[in-house]
């Protein structure tokens, strides 16, 4: 079967971690630094503070760590990454470097496969699709150097029958949003991703092992941050007072009022949060024994689609019987609202269209992520709205040089990735250490600028 090179931006995974909770008291707990959120950014910040021997408290609203990077190790015989699965840029990925021994991190196949349902794509069809994909990507990236517009407005007009498939790959699959809803400049700033890897135990399991030993306060949401005077964080288990605060919760939670601020956030920050909405990306796990579709381990398969009701298949993960169907954008949001039976039902129907009607009977077990229904997350990952690519930089600005935001939304180039969230957490921790006097040397995290050789092919 013909293949094309990979463009993959999916976000989020992490496993359970038990930790002591704050005492159920209204007494103030004084710490130099408080971290809100134990996803990749919060864990990275906590590790940096630990290395500097500075006391901190790490608050997590959920009963598990990881945020959008969570591995389900019990639902299937193979670990299922409900969120992030692709380890981007493994050669310089900080999580790969920090991974303890015993984990199997292996290169992801560099190709993708294509079907023109219900058959395999012919060589000429693959060439047409690849050409359309490259031309569309180049048009967005090149125009992204000018005035910031919607990415969809920059697509060539002659993509023909491949337009819907191209829009899915570059939009909902890669960013969780339609190309008409995202900034071309934000899209263009992301660097080349010519190599990816997988962790056989799960990306979330990898993150959890890195976080082992950190004093995470689980099931402890930060409901309000008072940053007008002395920094105080209200939680159901008491109030925390700190000299510096790092906020790593998602932009959807911040925008929806899941965490309030006193006084209200400055207009610059409020507008930045509003212009970095989370897209929708859902993973549907299917246990399909016997390899009935004759696919290789970790095969990534797209289809020639005719509308938004399409998906991508990652088959035989790690050589196992587990496969994952991924949907994104507004269609994923509609499916999630209809409930898990609708989500898993679409996945089996879509496979039947791809491989023949008998495909419906092959899946013996199914489960869906439904991130949009998670009140502590609210979606997949951020994508700047047209005209607002600079929202990420605006959100980097500290409040009173005492409060910093971190997470994938606060990285200008590695947005939508676990390693981008990690880097932003390190950067915020470095800034906090300068305030509390715990830093001995400066290792600022520099944004990785895109190379002239473009990705998304």
Q: Is residue 16 part of a domain?
A: no
Specify the length of the chain in residues. 457
Grouping H, G, I as helix, E, B as strand and the rest as coil, residue 80 is strand
Across 71-219, the runs of DSSP E, i.e. the strands, are 71-72, 80-81, 87-88, 105-107, 111-116, 119-120, 196-199, 216-217
Q: How far apart are CA 225 and CA 241, in angstroms?
A: 10
Residue 426 CB contacts under 8 Å (≥ 6 apart), including other chains? 44, 45, 48, 94, 443, 445
Question: Which pair of tokens denotes residue 392?
Answer: 């990420």
Question: Which pair of tokens denotes residue 172?
Answer: 């909902």
The CB density around residue 23, as the number of other CB atoms within 10 Å, is 10
Q: Using CA atoms of 420, 426, 427, 428 in order, give the dihedral in degrees to the nearest 10.
A: 110
Q: Is residue 438 part of a domain?
A: no
Q: Is residue 347 part of a domain?
A: yes
Domain that holds residue 183: 3-8+114-197+278-373
Q: How far apart are CA 141 and CA 184, in angstroms?
A: 7
Q: Is residue 360 part of a domain?
A: yes
SS (H, E, C) 379-427: CCCECCCCCCCCHHHHHHCCECCCEEECCHHHCCCCCCCHHHHHHHHHH
User: pLDDT tens digits, the chain, 457 residues: what are they?
Assistant: 333 333 332 223 333 333 333 443 344 489 999 999 999 999 999 999 999 999 999 999 999 999 999 999 999 999 999 999 999 999 999 999 999 999 999 999 988 999 999 999 999 999 999 999 999 999 999 876 778 999 999 999 999 999 999 999 999 999 999 999 999 999 999 887 779 999 999 999 999 999 999 999 999 999 999 999 999 999 999 999 999 999 999 999 999 999 999 999 999 999 999 999 999 999 999 999 999 999 999 999 999 999 999 999 999 999 999 999 999 999 999 999 899 999 999 999 999 999 999 999 999 999 999 898 899 999 999 999 999 999 999 999 999 999 999 999 999 999 999 999 999 999 999 999 999 987 655 444 444 444 333 333 2
Q: Is residue 410 part of a domain?
A: no
Decide: 245 and 33 in contact? Cβ < 8 Å.
Answer: yes
The rounded radius of gyration (Å) of the Cα atoms in the chain is 22
As for how many domains the chain has, the answer is 1
Decide: 83 and 12 in contact? Cβ < 8 Å.
Answer: yes
Decide: 230 and 241 in contact? Cβ < 8 Å.
Answer: yes
Q: How far apart are CA 189 and CA 144, in angstroms?
A: 8
Nearest to 426 by CA among 81, 165, 151, 46: 46
């709205």: which residue's tokens? 385
Q: Is residue 433 part of a domain?
A: no
Q: How far apart are CA 38 and CA 191, in angstroms?
A: 26
Q: How far apart are CA 230 and CA 223, in angstroms?
A: 17
Question: Which pair of tokens denotes residue 135?
Answer: 């031309």
Nearest to 428 by CA among 413, 414, 448, 408: 408
pLDDT attached to residue 440 = 57
DSSP state of 118: T
Q: Is residue 38 part of a domain?
A: no
Nearest to 48 by CA among 451, 345, 448, 438: 438
Q: Where are the alpha helices (DSSP H) in 181-277?
A: 184-189, 203-211, 251-256, 267-274
Q: What share of the chain is helix, strand, coil (3-state, %, to 5)?
A: 35, 20, 45
Decide: 151 and 179 in contact? Cβ < 8 Å.
Answer: yes
Cα 378 to its chain centre, rounded Å, is 12
What's the CATH number where 152 sits?
3.90.660.10
Grouping H, G, I as helix, E, B as strand and the rest as coil, residue 289 is coil
Across 117-221, the runs of DSSP E, i.e. the strands, are 119-120, 196-199, 216-217
Does the CA dihedral 361-364-370-371 come out positive or negative? negative
Q: What are phi and psi of 144, to 5 degrees?
A: -65, -10
Q: Please work out, in degrees rounded to the nearest 5, the angle formed at the alpha carbon of residue 456 by the alpha carbons of 9 and 210.
A: 30
Q: Is residue 427 part of a domain?
A: no
The CB density around residue 260, as the number of other CB atoms within 10 Å, is 14
Grouping H, G, I as helix, E, B as strand and the rest as coil, residue 178 is coil
Grouping H, G, I as helix, E, B as strand and the rest as coil, residue 323 is strand
Beta bridge partners of 262: 226
């Amino acid at each position: 079967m013909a293949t094309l090179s990979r463009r993959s931006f999916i976000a989020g995974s992490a496993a359970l971690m038990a930790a002591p909770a704050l005492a159920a008291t209204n007494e103030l707990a004084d710490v130099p630094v408080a971290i809100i959120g134990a996803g990749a950014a919060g864990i990275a910040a906590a590790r940096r503070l630990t290395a500097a021997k500075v006391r901190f408290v790490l608050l997590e609203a959920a009963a598990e760590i990881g945020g959008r990077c969570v591995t389900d190790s019990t639902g299937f015989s193979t670990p299922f990454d409900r969120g992030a699965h692709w380890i981007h840029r493994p050669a310089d990925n900080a999580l790969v470097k920090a991974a303890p021994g015993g984990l199997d991190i292996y290169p992801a196949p560099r190709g993708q496969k294509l079907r023109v349902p219900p058959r395999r794509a012919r060589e000429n069809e693959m060439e047409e699709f690849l050409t359309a994909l490259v031309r569309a990507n180049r048009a967005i990236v090149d125009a992204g150097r000018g005035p910031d517009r919607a990415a969809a407005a920059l697509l060539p007009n002659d993509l023909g029958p491949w337009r819907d498939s191209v829009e899915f790959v570059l939009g909902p699959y890669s960013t969780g949003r339609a190309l008409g809803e995202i900034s071309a400049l934000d899209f263009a700033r992301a660097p080349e991703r010519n190599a990816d890897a997988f962790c056989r135990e799960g990306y979330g399991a990898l993150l959890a092992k890195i976080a082992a030993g950190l004093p995470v306060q689980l099931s402890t949401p930060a409901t309000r941050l008072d940053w007008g005077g002395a920094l105080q964080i209200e939680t159901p288990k008491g109030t925390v007072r700190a000299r510096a605060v790092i906020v790593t919760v998602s932009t959807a939670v911040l925008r929806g009022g899941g965490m309030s601020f006193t006084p209200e956030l400055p207009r610059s920050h409020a507008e930045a949060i509003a212009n970095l909405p989370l897209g929708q990306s859902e993973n549907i796990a299917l246990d399909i024994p016997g390899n009935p579709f004759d696919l290789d381990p970790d095969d990534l398969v797209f289809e020639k689609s005719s509308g938004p009701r399409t998906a991508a298949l990652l088959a035989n993960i790690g050589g196992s019987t587990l496969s994952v169907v991924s949907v994104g954008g507004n269609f994923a949001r509609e499916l999630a609202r209809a409930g898990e039976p609708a989500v898993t039902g679409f996945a089996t129907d879509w496979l039947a269209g791809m491989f023949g009607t008998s495909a419906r009977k092959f899946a013996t077990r199914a489960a869906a992520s439904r991130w949009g229904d998670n009140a502590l997350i609210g979606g997949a990952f951020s994508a700047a709205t047209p005209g607002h690519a600079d929202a990420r930089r605006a959100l980097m600005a500290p409040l009173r040089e005492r409060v910093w935001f971190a997470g994938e939304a606060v990285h200008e180039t590695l947005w939508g990735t676990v390693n981008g969230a990690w880097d932003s957490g390190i950067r915020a921790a470095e800034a906090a250490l300068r305030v509390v006097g715990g830093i001995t040397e400066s290792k600022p995290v520099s944004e990785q600028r895109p190379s002239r050789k473009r990705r998304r092919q």
